[in-house]
Chain A
Amino acid sequence: MPILKEVSGYIYPNEIELHWGILIVVYPYLTGLVAGAFILASLVKIFNVREVQATYRMALLTALAFLIVSPLPLLTHLGHPEKSFEIFLTPNTKSAMAMFGFVYAWYLMAVLLLEIWFDYRRDIILWEKKESGIKKWFHKLITLFSSDASEQSLTFDRKAIKLITIIGIPSAFLLHGYVGFIFGSIKANPWWSSVLMPIVFLFSAIVSGIALVLLIYMVVTPMRGKEIDMACLNKLASYLFYVMIIDFSLEALDFIHRIYESEESIHILSELVMGKLFVSLIVIQLLIGMIVPLLAIAGVKLFKAPDELRKQVYFLSALLVQVGIFSTRWNVVIGGQLFSKSFSGLTAYKMTFLGLEGLLMSLFLLLLPFIILYVLFRVLPPWEEMREAQ
C-alpha cells in the first residue's frame, strides 16, 4: 500500500484508513455558517441595530439555505445512508451524535422556519394579492392559506418573532456548540478532547457567519444595481472584528493550556503541529485566516481609510476569514486523525477526487447552498424595497 510510505513511527494497524474525510470537514463548516448567520440576524433584531437592518432577512435566508445542505455531507459519508433514519427512530440517548436529529429538527422547524415565516407573512399575503399563476399559489401555500393581515395578527407576529429570537440565540449556540461537543467529548482523542471545543466552535461559527453575510451583501447589492451602504458595512466589519478577537483569544487559551499542562500526548501533538499541520494550522488558519484580516480591518478603521479602500479590505478580509475557518475545521477533523492513538506515530490523509466521499462531492455541497440561496432570493426577496409599506 502506497500510503504506508507516508506513515511515520508506529500506528495501530486499523488506523491506516482515515475514517472521517473532507465531508466531515464540510459539515461543521456549513453548520457554522448557519449558526453564525442566524446569530447575526438575531443581534440585529434584539438590539435593533439600524445600520445593519438591511442584512436581517438576508442573514435568515442564508442560514436557511446552509441549514438545508448541512446534513447532506453527514448523509453521504455514512456507510449505509439508507439506514440513516434510525437516528430519529431509536436514538441512543447517551450518544452525542444521536442528538443530531433533535437539535437539527428543533433548529430548522421551531426556530429558523418559524422566524422566517412570521417575518415574511404579511409581505407574502400582500404580494400574493398582486400575483397570478404558480407564484401566487406557491405564496398561498407557504402562508398555509392564512390571509389574516389585520393589525391584531401582525402584533402577534411581532411578538412571536421576538420570542423566537430569544429562543433562537441559545438554539443557535446549541446547534454549533453541539457540533463542537461531538468532537470535544471524545476522550480517546487528546486533540479533540477539550471543554473549550464547543465554545471555540461557536465563536468561529459566528466569525464565519458574519463574514459570509458581509460577502453576500457586497456581491448581491451591486448585482441588483444598488449602492452598498457603508454604515452597514462598517458595522458588520466591526462585529466581525470583535468576534474574531474573542475567537482568537479562545484558541490561544486552548493552545497555551495544552502546552502548559503538557500531558502525555504533547509530544505527538507538537510533532503534528510542527509537521503535517504546519501549513494548514499556522500559516493558513492562524496567519492568513486570523491575523492578517484582524490587522487589515484594524488598519482601515484606525487610519480612517476612504470608502473604496475599505470595501476592498473588508471583502478580502472576509474571504480570508472563510479560508481560515474552513482550515480550522480541517485542522480539527483531519488533524485529529493524523496521529495514532498509540501516540507513537503519524499517518496521512489521501483525499479522493471522485466518489461519494471525494473532493468533487465536497465542492458540490459547498456550492449547493448558494444555488438554494439564489432560489430563496427569488421567491422570498429579502430586499428592503420589497417590504410592503405599513
Chain B
Amino acid sequence: MKWKRIPQQLQRLIILAAIFAVLFLIVRSFLIPVDFGKYGHYRASAVEEIIAQGMHYAGQEACYDCHEDVFETKRGGFHQNVSCEVCHGPAFTHAETTDTAELEAPTGRGYCPVCHEYLPSRPTGFPQIVSASHNPMKPCITCHEPHDPEPPQAPAECTACHAEIARTKSLSHHVYVPCMRCHETPEEHKINPRKVLPGKPKTREFCGGCHAQDAPADKGIPRIDMASHNVRYVCWQCHYPHLPEAR
C-alpha cells in the first residue's frame, strides 16, 4: 500500500505511534542497567552487592586459631559442637582485630536456661533443669564448667531428665511404681544418656506379674486372662504404662 493512499487520519496516527515507539526504545536503552540480563533476568551486579555484605559471625574455626586451649577442653565433651559464638556472641570484629573488641560470656543464671530450662517440647534425654528449684542462688558456672560441662553428680532421680513422663505418671495408677522396676537402667545411662539406653519389659509375663488372674498381688489391681487376651502383643504395645487407660 502506498503511503499517499492511506487516509489522512491514519497517516497521523502512524506517525504518532512511530514517535512513541522510537521514544520508548531510546528511553529504554538509557534506563536499563547495563549488566541486566547478563546471567539471567536480573541485574548481575546485585550478586556482588549481596556478597559484599559484612559478616558478624566469624565461625568457630576462626576462634580455635588462637584459643587452642579451649578447643582442647571442649573436645570430646558435651559442648564440643556448641559453637563459641552461641555464648560469646558474634566475633567477626574480634577475630579481625583482637585487642579492640573484647567478647563477653554470660556469667549469670540468665543464659544457660535458654537451652537447659525444662520445656515439655524439648527432646527427651536433653539435659534440662527447673531453674527455680535448681540451686536458685548460684550462677551455673560455679558448679558446671561451660566448656566441658559434666553433671556434677549423676542425676539422683530419673525425673531430673524425664520430667514430662514423671508428670504424666503422677496422675496415673502407676504413680507408686518406681521407674527402675520396669526399666532396667545401666549406671552408664546417667552419663551417656543417648548411647546407653534403659531397657523395657520384654515379655507379657512381666506385666502378668501383677495383672494375671493368679498373680500374688493386691486385690484392687485389674486382672486379665493372660491366655486369651491379645496374645500376640507385649502389653505396652497397646497400653501406655505411664498412664494406663483404667483410671
Contact = CB atoms under 8 A, between A and B. Distances in A.
Contacts of B10: 156, 160
Contacts of A144: 9, 12-13, 16
Contacts of A389: none
Contacts of A152: 7
Q: Quick one: which of B12, B20, B36 has the most chain A CB within 10 A?
A: B12
Nearest to A92: B41
Contact of B7 (A90, A92, A145, A148): A148
B32 interface: yes
Contacts of B13: 114, 117, 144
Q: Quick one: which of A89, A109, A145, A157 has the most chain B CB within 10 A?
A: A89
Interface residues of A, number: 20
Interface in A163-178: none
A85 interface: yes
B186 interface: no
Contacts of B47: none
Contacts of A117: 13
Interface string A366-388: 00000000000000000000000
Contacts of B28: 88-89
A93 to B, nearest CB: 8
Q: Quick one: which of A85, A144, A152 has the most chain B CB within 10 A?
A: A144
Contacts of A89: 28, 31-32
A302 B28 CA distance: 59
A146 B37 contact: no
A85 B31 contact: yes
B7 A153 contact: yes
Given A92-B41, A144-B12, A156 B7 contact: yes
B36 A148 contact: no
B8 interface: yes
Contacts of B41: 90, 92
Given A146-B9, A157-B9, A90 B16 contact: no
Interface residues of B, number: 16
Contacts of A85: 31
A310 interface: no
A121 interface: yes
Interface string A254-280: 000000000000000000000000000
A118 B9 CA distance: 9
A121 B9 contact: yes
Given A85-B31, A92-B41, A153-B7, A146 B36 contact: no
Contacts of A145: 12
Given A90-B37, A92-B41, A153-B7, A146 B12 contact: yes
A13 B10 CA distance: 57
B245 to A, nearest CB: 30
Contacts of B24: 88
B64 to A, nearest CB: 35
Contacts of B20: 109
Contacts of A121: 9
Interface string A80-123: 00000100111010000000000000000100001001100100
Interface in B29-57: 31-32, 36-37, 41
A131 B50 CA distance: 62
The 6 A-B residue pairs whose C-beta atoms are closest, nearest first, are A144-B12, A148-B8, A156-B7, A146-B8, A146-B9, A146-B12
Interface of A: 85, 88-90, 92, 109, 114, 117-118, 121, 143-146, 148, 152-153, 156-157, 160
6 contacts: A89-B31, A90-B36, A90-B37, A146-B9, A148-B8, A156-B7
Interface of B: 7-13, 16, 20, 24, 28, 31-32, 36-37, 41
Given A90-B36, A148-B7, 6 more contacts: A88-B24, A90-B32, A148-B8, A148-B9, A152-B7, A156-B7
